[in-house]
């Protein structure tokens, strides 16, 4: 069976998308589906390449037994060929991903979606960026992502 590949994308790849990646990994581990997926995250910007996720996000996630282990990277043209799904955290990143895909010679097969299209509990149309806010913003983002990431997984499995 061919693996399903999923790339979560936000602006800098240090808050929202690595959290979504870690939540997704946690969910597929609990369901015994780890071998069925390739999961990664990236940012549309390049500011944090190689860095760990924001420490405030890692601490908030660890309180929920979710380990964010990824290092920041920037989305590349190759990602459109390597991933089945590219999942944006907000409208701005969705547009940036679409624009990059439109400029790519090989447009690939990736289906570009917004994570909040899979929400079941929260009304937010975008996942807010908690970077410049207080610690409670990281918990709120995790609440939102646990809901929508689970909804995404249910939609594809």
Confidence of residue 107 (pLDDT cuts 50, 70, 90): low
- Integer-rounded Cα Rg, in Å, for the chain is 14
4-156 adopts what CATH topology?
Rossmann fold (3.40.50)
Which pLDDT value is given to residue 104?
81
49's tokens: 């390449």
pLDDT at 8 over 90: yes
- Whether 68 contacts 18, CB under 8 Å: yes
Q: Map residue 74 onto helix, strand or coil.
A: strand
10 catalytically annotated:
yes
User: Who's near 134: CB < 8 A, 6+ residues apart?
Assistant: none
Count of Cβ atoms closer than 10 Å to residue 46 Cβ: 12
- The catalytic residue among 79, 90, 129, 139 is 129
Please give the distance of CA 82 from its chain centroid, rounded to a whole number: 15
24-36 mean pLDDT: 97
- The catalytic residue among 16, 56, 58, 119 is 16
From the list 44, 39, 34, 45, the residue with the least C-alpha distance to 20 is 39
3-24 mean pLDDT: 98
Question: Which residues is 43 bridged to in the sheet?
Answer: 10, 74
Which pLDDT value is given to residue 76?
96
16 catalytically annotated:
yes
From the list 100, 151, 129, 152, the residue with the least C-alpha distance to 12 is 129
Phi, psi of 133 (to 5 degrees): -100, -165
31-50 mean pLDDT: 96
Q: Which residue has the tokens 């990236």?
A: 42
What does the domain layout of the chain look like in residue ranges? 4-156
């Amino acid at each position: 069976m061919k693996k399903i590949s999923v790339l979560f994308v936000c602006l800098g790849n240090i808050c929202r998308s690595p959290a979504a990646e870690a939540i997704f990994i946690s969910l597929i581990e609990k369901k015994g589906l780890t071998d069925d997926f390739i999961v990664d995250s990236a940012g549309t910007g390049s500011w944090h390449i190689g860095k760990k996720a924001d420490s405030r996000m890692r601490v908030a996630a660890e309180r929920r037994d979710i380990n964010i282990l990824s290092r920041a990277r920037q989305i590349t043209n190759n990602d459109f060929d390597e991933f089945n799904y590219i999942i944006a955290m907000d409208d701005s990143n969705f547009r940036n991903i679409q624009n990059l895909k439109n400029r790519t010679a090989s447009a690939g097969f990736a289906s570009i979606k917004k994570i909040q299209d899979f929400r079941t509990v929260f009304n937010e149309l975008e996942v807010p960026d908690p970077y410049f806010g207080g610690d409670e913003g990281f918990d709120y983002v995790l609440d939102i992502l646990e809901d929508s990431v689970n909804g995404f997984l249910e939609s594809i499995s």
